[in-house]
Structure 1
Amino acid sequence: MKLTDKEINSMLTQSPDVRYSYSLKRIADSGYLWYMSSDDSYMCIQAGDIRLFPVWPFKEYAEKFVSSMSNGHKCNFSKLNLEEFSDKIVDYLCESGMSIGVFPVA
């Protein structure tokens, strides 16, 4: 699915609750989510004392998030189906004490 600039810009200004609901619907519809990774590991973000594993319903939102950060980190964007997410990521998140950050914006 190709997102329009209007849809992208509209969603970036929505409340966290709206972005969360939108993400769940879009991820459920497509069966995929997007996350950030480096060459050798998953990437997380820090929100105070909480480490978050950020996920988005579309790559474009992840790219906007990274481009708005001024830290210069390089990262890859990876697509993961829900079965792989359940099999590969959920245990890792539980073991590392990380939470899921759904559709964060800068």
Structure 2
Amino acid sequence: MRRTSEHEIQAVLRLDGPERFRHFVKRVADDQIAWGLWQDGWALMANADGCQVFPLWPAREYAEIHREGEWAAYEARKIPLADLLDELLPRLAESGILPGVFPTPSGKGVTPGPEELAGALRKELENYE
């Protein structure tokens, strides 16, 4: 698992939502890990429609940026890609919770359906076979 440089962090945070989504999919497929925030349960947020959203990031450093305000006591926790695909995304689908792909401090993340995110990750993984 590689460390993300400050230069890369700043460049990626400036990308628009669809570009951050593509970056997330590639990075998570490369590293086999996604990241969330945890404190006696996973951090959740809401989208503009009031739907619950489970925020996910492609590297620890991006999750750490969000450890402020109501999430200050949370810690960045890794989610192995197999767990994301086989357990978390199906559970989110059952619960009506959207994955929040790569939210940034200045904006919301992309909120695909759990099946759409799983499909994008599986398609990217085909490039590694």
- The structural deviation recorded for 1:61 is 0.4
- The structural deviation recorded for 1:73 is 4.2
Paired residue for 1:53? 54
Bigger Cα displacement from structure 2, 26-35 vs 90-99: 90-99
Q: Which structure is higher in strand share? A: 1
Q: CA RMSD in A?
A: 1.5
- 8 Å CA contact 2:67–2:75 kept in 1: the answer is no
Task: Give identity over the alignment, percent.
Answer: 28
User: Runs ≥4 in structure 1, deviation > 2 angstroms?
Assistant: 70-73
Q: Provide the TM-score with structure 2 as the length reference.
A: 0.72
Q: CA 1:26/1:15 → structure 2, altered by over 3 Å: closer, same or farther?
A: same
Paired residue for 1:4? 5
Alpha-carbon distance between aligned partners in 1 of 2:80 and 2:60, rounded to the nearest angstrom: 13
Q: Provide the TM-score with structure 1 as the length reference.
A: 0.86
Paired residue for 1:64? 65
- Ranges in structure 2 where 5+ consecutive residues have no aligned partner: 106-129
- The structural deviation recorded for 1:88 is 2.8
